[in-house]
Amino acid sequence: MQSLLFSFDGRVNRATFWLTLISVDIVVVILLGVLGIVGGASVMPDADGNLPPPSLGVSIGALILFILSTWIGLAMGVKRFHDRNKSGWWVLINLVPVIGGLWYLIECGFLKGTAGPNQYGPDPLAIS
**Going by C-beta distance under 8 Å and a sequence separation of 6 or more, which residues neighbour residue 19?**
none
**Going by C-beta distance under 8 Å and a sequence separation of 6 or more, which residues neighbour residue 86?**
107
Phi, psi at 74, each rounded to 5°: -65, -45
Per-residue pLDDT of the chain in tens (128 residues, 90 and over written 9)? 788 999 999 999 999 999 999 999 999 999 999 988 887 766 677 788 787 777 888 889 999 999 999 999 999 999 999 999 999 999 999 999 999 999 999 999 999 999 999 999 999 998 65
* Per-domain boundaries in the chain: 9-110
User: pTM for this one?
Assistant: 0.87
CA distance 42 to 24: 24
pLDDT at 39: 79
